[in-house]
Structure 1
Amino acid sequence: MSSTTYPRALRRNLTAHGFLIGAVLCFAFFSWYPMVREVLLAFQKAEGGKTNWVGLDNLRTVFNDPAFGQAWRNTLLFTGLALVLGFVVPFLVALVLNELRHLNGYLRMLVYLPVMLPPVASVLLFKYFYDPGYGLFNEVLDFFHLPAQQWLQDPDIAMLCVVVAATWMNMGGATLIYLAALQTIPGELYEAADLDGAGLWRKIWHVTVPQTRLVLSLMLLMQIIATMQVFTEPFLLTGGAGPEGSTTTVVYLIYQYAFNFNNYGAAAALGLLLLVLLAGFSAVYVKLSRAEDE
Structure 2
Amino acid sequence: MAAISVSVRRKPVGPDQGRAPASRRAALRQRVRQHLTAHGFLLGALLCFGYFAWYPMVREVIMSFQRTKRGRTTWVGLDNLDHILQDPAFWQAWRNTLLFTVLALVLGFAVPFVVAVLLNELRHAKAYLRILVYLPVMMPPVASVLLFKYFYDPGHGLFNSILAHLHLPTSAWLNSAGTAMISVVIAATWMNMGGATLIYLAALQGIPGELYEAAELDGAGLLRRIWHVTIPQTRLILSMLLLLQVVATMQVFVEPYLLTGGNGPQGSTTTVVYLIYQYAFNFNNYGSASALGLVMLVVLAGFSALYARLSRTAD
- Write the distance in 2 (CA, Å) between the matches of 1:288 and 1:137: 41
Deviations 1:60-108 (A, max 9, x none): 1101111111101100000000000000000000000011111111100
- SS of residue in 1 equivalent to 2:212: helix
SS of 1:169 mapped into structure 2:
helix
Which amino acid is the alignment partner of residue 2 of structure 1? R
Worse-superposed segment, 128-137 or 142-151: 142-151
Q: What displacement does 1:290 show?
A: 2.2
Q: Whole-Å Cα distance in 1 between the matches of residues 114 and 128 of structure 2? A: 18
**Which of 266, 283, 308 is the equivalent residue of 1:261?**
283
- What residue identity is the alignment partner of 1:127? K
| C-alpha distance in 2 between matches for 1:155 and 1:32 | 38
What is the match of residue 71 of structure 2?
A: 49
Separation of aligned partners in 1, 2:207 and 2:65: 51
1:40 Cα deviation after fit: 1.2
Does 1:276 pair with 2:298?
A: yes
- The corresponding residue for 2:210 is 188
Structure-2 residue corresponding to 1:167: 189
| CA–CA separation in structure 1 for the residues paired with 2:152 and 2:287 | 36
- The aligned counterpart of 2:249 is 227
| Letter paired with 1:35 | M
Greater alpha carbon shift after TM alignment, 174-183 vs 134-143: 134-143
Distance in 1 (CA, whole Å) between partners of 2:67 and 2:312 is 41
Determine the C-alpha separation between the residues in 1 that align with 2:91 and 2:52.
Answer: 31
Displacement after TM superposition at 1:118 (Å): 0.5
User: In structure 2, what is the Cα distance between the partners aligned to 1:209 and 1:253?
Assistant: 38
Counterparts of 2:71 and 2:195 in 1: how far apart (Å)?
42
Residue segments in structure 2 that go unaligned for 5+ positions in a row: 1-22
Taking structure 2 as the reference length, the TM-score comes to 0.91
Selected match of 1:214 from 213, 236, 250: 236
Q: Does 1:109 align with 2:134?
A: no
RMSD value, Cα: 1.0
| SS class of match (1:152) | helix
Q: TM-score, normalised by structure 1?
A: 0.97
- Partners in 2 of 1:3 and 1:64 — Cα distance? 69
Q: How far is the alpha carbon of 1:292 from its aligned partner?
A: 2.8
| C-alpha deviation, 1:145, in angstroms | 1.6
Question: Per-residue displacement from partner, 1:2-46 (whole Å, max 9, x unpaired)?
Answer: 243233222211110111000110011101010011011111112
2: CA distance, partners of 1:206 / 1:76? 31
- 1:47 CA displacement: 1.9
1:241 is aligned, of 241, 259, 263, to 263
Question: Counterpart of 1:231 in structure 2: which amino acid?
Answer: F
> Which structure 1 residue ranges, 4+ long, deviate > 6 Å from structure 2?
none
The residue identity in structure 1 corresponding to 2:46 is V
Partner of 1:252 in structure 2? 274
2 CA distance for matches of 1:118 and 1:53? 41
SS in 2 for 1:70: helix
Give the alignment partner of residue 110 of structure 2, picking from 85, 88, 98. 88
- Residue 198 of structure 1 aligns to a residue whose secondary structure is coil
Determine the C-alpha separation between the residues in 1 that align with 2:45 and 2:179: 44
Return closer, same or farther for 1:289/1:147 CA change in 2, 3 Å cut-off. closer
Q: What is the percent sequence identity of the aligned residues? A: 71
Distance in 1, matches of 2:248 and 2:71, equals 32
Q: Distance in 1 between matches of 2:236 and 2:35?
A: 37
1:11 aligns with 2:33: yes
1:215 partner amino acid: I
Larger-gyration structure (1/2) = 2
